[in-house]
Amino acid sequence: MIKRPLGNTGLFVSEIAFGGVEIGMPYGIGVNDAADMLSEPEAINLLHTALDSGINFFDTARMYGESEVIMGKAFKQRRDEVVICTKCRHFLDSEGKLPAWSDLKGIIENSLNESFVALQTDYVEVFMLHQANSDILENEEIASAFLNLKKEGKIRATGVSTYTPEETKRAIEAGVWDVIQIPFNLMDQRQAAFFSAAKEQGIGLVVRSVLMKGLLSDRRKNLHPALKKVEQHIAGYGKFLEGTSFNLPMLATKFALSFPEVSSILVGIDSKEYLNQSIEAANGEYLEDDLMHRARKMAFPEPDFLNLHQWSKMNWLK
């Protein structure tokens, strides 16, 4: 497994980052409750297998159920072998507003301390804002709090998880965030507009939603009627794959890794089958120029519609 620099952090991370949400809570297409998930011993074994296979970058969050606890148990004796990214609790109240600074400061500090307990560690390599919007990104006190945690040695790098291109642009321009996690895939390629700027600023880019919660994999079955256009577009990749040795998830993985500005791609892994598929795809061979050119032209024509979070709220993803 090739390691890439995570921006200017001094960290080197595997091209595949192990997405920890699936081992901590029901998530993704076809996963409805705990019965569809791995048991804790199975999840720990999967994490060990991933590490032994060359993956050293593991992504989790306070909001991911038991994910941090399971990673803590898995890596307690192997802490120096892994790069851990975790995310702070959400800030916004029920009305979508930021609380007072005294409350915000407590949320940030308590969240990180809770992560330390769960992860059985006293530091993390990357500590991220979770679902940062414009108000959060423009709040200087939040940025200062994260920078202070870095100065204190509790975190190695500051990070932010964005959704929209506008949020990513703000995060880059802020000059505060060492790592930015962005949604980017075959269907929604808008964030590529900021790849060069991020590289110039020494920011590590971590790509998520590469498989779109499983839509760009064999988990895609009988999509909600509201997603008919999406399903038809995905079916079009079948012709693209003719004459190649790729399946759709391999194509999606190689596409994202073919951008040198990307440090790592985040893949949700909840079975050895998906782990092996990810490792097979990340074999150091990227898309050739002609395939890359064709893939760039096959983005979904209405990218604003590709809102996985909203789809989940509408119960369109089951």
Does the pLDDT at position 140 exceed 80?
A: yes
Q: Is the Cβ–Cβ distance between 277 and 249 less than 8 Å?
A: yes
pLDDT > 90? residue 8: yes
Q: Give the three-class secondary structure for 267.
A: strand
In a domain, 265, yes or no: yes
Provide the whole-model pTM: 0.92
Name the E strands within the chain: 3-5, 12-14, 16-19, 57-59, 83-87, 124-129, 155-161, 179-183, 204-208, 262-268
- Domain containing 155 equals 3-313
What pLDDT sits at residue 26? 78
Residue 23 tokens, joined: 């081992």
In a domain, 215, yes or no: yes
pLDDT tens digit sequence for 27-40:
766 677 777 789 99
Per residue in 147-201, pLDDT tens?
A: 999 999 999 999 999 999 999 999 999 999 999 999 999 999 999 999 999 999 9
pLDDT in tens, 63-97: 999 999 999 999 999 999 999 999 998 887 777 78
pLDDT interval class at 143 (50, 70, 90): very high
In a domain, residue 285? The reply is yes
Q: For residue 318, tell me if it sits in a domain.
A: no
Which string of DSSP letters, residue by residue, matches 184-211?
A: --SS--GGGGGHHHHHHTTPEEEEE-TT
Q: What is the mean pLDDT of residues 50-54?
A: 97
Q: Based on the structure, what is the number of domains in the chain?
A: 1
- Average pLDDT value over all residues in the chain: 92
Over the stretch 260-298, which tens digit does the pLDDT of each residue have? 999 999 998 888 988 999 999 999 999 999 999 999 999
**277/283 Cα distance (integer angstroms):** 10
Crossing angle for the helix pair 140-151 and 101-119, to the nearest 10 degrees: 40
CATH at 85: 3.20.20.100
The encoded tokens of residue 142 equal 């939040």
- Record the tokens describing residue 259, joined without a space: 């951008």
If you average pLDDT over residues 219-229, what whole number do you get? 84
Q: Is the pLDDT of residue 306 over 70?
A: yes
Using only C-alpha atoms, the chain has a radius of gyration, in whole angstroms, of 19
* pLDDT given for residue 29 in this prediction: 66
Query: What pLDDT does 213 receive?
Result: 82
Q: What is the pLDDT of residue 152?
A: 97
Q: Where are the beta strands (DSSP E) in 35-135?
A: 57-59, 83-87, 124-129
| Per-residue burial over 27-53, b = 16 or more CB atoms within 10 Å of its CB, e = otherwise | bbbebeeeeebbeeeebbebbeebbee
Q: Are 20 and 14 in contact (CB under 8 A)?
A: no
Is 297 exposed, middle or buried, given 0-12, 13-18 or 19+ CB atoms closer than 10 A? exposed
Sequence-distant (6+) residues with CB within 8 A of 142 are 91, 104, 108, 129, 136
Cα dist. 225→3, 165, 229, 248 in Å?
Answer: 41, 27, 9, 22
